Structure 1
Amino acid sequence: MEGLNVLVTGSTCGLGLHTAKILFKKGANVILTCRDEIRGRHAVESLLSGVSQEQSQKEAERIHLFTLDVTNYNSICNFTDEISRMFKYLHVIINNAGIMGMPFELSVDGIEMHFATNVFGHYVVVERLLPLLLKTDRPDFKSRVIVVSSGLYRNAEAIPQVSKLLGQKTYDYSPKQAYAFSKLANCLYTGALSKMLEPHNVGVYCVRPGFVNGTELGRETHWILRALAAPIIWFIAKTLEQGCETIVYLAETSGNQLKNGSMYYERKEEAYNEMVEVTSIRQVWAILRHLEDTVWKRNTQMTDEQRNHGEMVRELLNESLIV
C-alpha cells in the first residue's frame, strides 16, 4: 500500500477508523472524512498513536482530514472539489459510512435517510471523483472501489418505489426493511458500477464484514436493549480487527486475484442471493440517476461548474454495459 491514496468514509469510529489505521500502518496516504472536526482530530491522533515523536510530524503528512456529510449533496460537492484540487490520483475508495435502525427521516436533499447515507451519498462521492480514480500513476496497482454492505441485505423484501424514497408517498415504513434494502442496493450498485468500470480497468468489490462489536451502527437502538444484548454480542461478535480484515484484503490484494463485482466475506468470494440480478441492478441504477436528477432540479446552491462536472463524469460511464 506504500504511496497509494486511499479514501475511507465514516473513518472517525468503528470499522472505518480501524481500516484506516491498518492501511496507514501499511504505508498508504489515508484520506479521512468527518462530520465533526473534534472527532476527526481524535481519529488523526488515533492513527498516529503508535508513531514515535521523532517520526510523528513526517508521518502526519500521510493523513488528510476533510469534512463530509454524505447525506448532503452540497457537502459532497465541496468535499470532492477539495479532493480534486489536492490530489491528482485516487487508488482506493472505501464506501464505509453507514447508519442503521433510524426512524423515518428525510435527508436535507429529501431522500430517505438510510438510502441517502448508505447508498446515494457514496454513489455521488464515487461519481464525482471518477476522473481521479481512472487516472493512475501506479500501473502495478488496479484502482478500485470497495462497498461495505451487510449480510442483512438478504432480508430485503422488495425494491421500493422511488417516490417512497423521496417521501412523496406514504407507506408502512420499517427501519429494518429500510436498512436491509440499502444494503441490497449496495450489492446492486456494485454490480452496475463494476460492469461500467471494467473497460477502464477499475475494480469494484462488495464486502460483508459480519457481525462486528465496536461499531456505532446500533446507536439508534434503545440503551436498555443494547445493555441486555451486550453479553451475547460480546460472545458471538467479531472484533474490529476481524471485521475489517476482508476490507483490508480487498484494498491491498492484486486485482487479478479478485473477481470484479463480487461479494467477499472472510477473504473469500461469496455468492449473492437471487435478488442480485440484472433487472434489479438496472432498477437501482435508474433510481440513483433519478434521485440525482431530482436533487439537481431542487438545488439552488450548486454552481454551474459543479453541475457541469456532474454531467461530464456521467458521460464516462456507459450504462449499456449493465447486462
Structure 2
Amino acid sequence: MTATVQYSRIIGTGSYLPDEIVTNNDLAQRLAKKGVETSDEWIVSRTGIKQRHIADDSTKTSDLAVKAAQNALASAGKTAADLDLIILATSTPDFVFPSTACMVQAKLGNRGAAAFDVQAVCSGFVYALTTADSFIKAGRARCALVIGAEVFSRILDWQDRGTCVLFGDGAGAVVLQASDEPGIQAAQLHADGSLTNILCVPGSVAHGQVTGDPFLRMDGQAVFKQAVSVLEQSARDTVAEAGLELSDIDWLIPHQANLRILTFLAKKLGGSMDKLVVTVDQHANTSAASVPLALDQACRDGRIKSGHEVLMQGVGGGFTWGSVVARM
C-alpha cells in the first residue's frame, strides 16, 4: 500500500513590533550626542530605511516572539495545545541556554512539543520554516509554530554609523500544518562558512566575561555583492524545483536588509515591482524576523490571498542563504 504524500501549509501568520518607533531624525539626534554624524537623507538614500522599532531594556526576544506567536495562532484558529513542534530562529537569544523556543513554549502554556532554536542569522526564518516542513513531511509533526524574533539593538555598536542605522527589533511567526494539498512546494538552503568575516559578531562568553568583540561587524559592500548573487540563483533554482516559472510567482518576499538589494533582485528576476513586498522602510533590518514580518503584513492587508504563490528568501551571516516557495 502506497503511503499518502504529506505536505505542510501555512495556515496562519502573526507579527509583533515594540512600541517605540525611532525615526531617522530621532536616531540622528541620539547619535549626535555620541559624536556620530548621520541624517535622514544619508540613511534613506543608501538603505531606504525611514524608521525602526526598538525594544526597551526589559523586553526579551522571547517576549516579542510570544506576541507574534499568539497572533499567528489566532489567525490559524489554533491554540498552544495544538502544537507539537516549536522552532524559533534568532541570533539574540534570551540566554546561552535553554533555547528561547523553550522559553516561548512555557509562556504560551504548551508542554511536550519539541522546541528548539535555529541560528542562521538573517536566513534563520527560511531555515526554520524548511526544517518544520521536513518534520511534517516525515510524519514527525502535524502542527508547527515557526518564529523569527530578534532584539538586534542589543548587539549594535552605536558608534558605528555603517551598521547601527540599519537594524531594528521585532518578531514574526507562522503556523504550519500537515495537509493533503501542497503548501510548501520547494525549499533550498545553503551556506559558505569561508565568508564568516563579512558579517558576524566575533565575541563569546567565557569564564564569566565577554571575550572578543561583542558587536555586529559588517563589510557592507561584500555583503551586498554576495546577497544579490546568491538570492537570484537561489530564487531561480527553488522556483524550478517547485515546477514553476518565475512568472508564476505572485509575491516576492526577500530578506528586508536594504531597498537597493530588493529592487535590484526584483529587476534581475524580471518581476514587476508591484510583486515585491517591502517593509524595510518601516522596520529596518530585523534579521530572522524580517521575512515573517513582511509576510504577515502582506497577508493582513489583503495583498496575499489564498492560492497565491509566494517566494520567501533569506540571506545573512554565516554566510547563509535560502529560499522557500509556498502556496498560500
The structure whose RCO (Cα within 8 Å, separation 6+) is larger is: 2
Normalised by the shorter chain, which TM-score bucket? 0.3 to 0.5
Could you tell me the TM-score, scaled by structure 2's length?
Answer: 0.33
Q: Which has the higher strand share?
A: 2
Q: Which has the higher helix share?
A: 1
Could you tell me the TM-score, scaled by structure 1's length?
Answer: 0.33
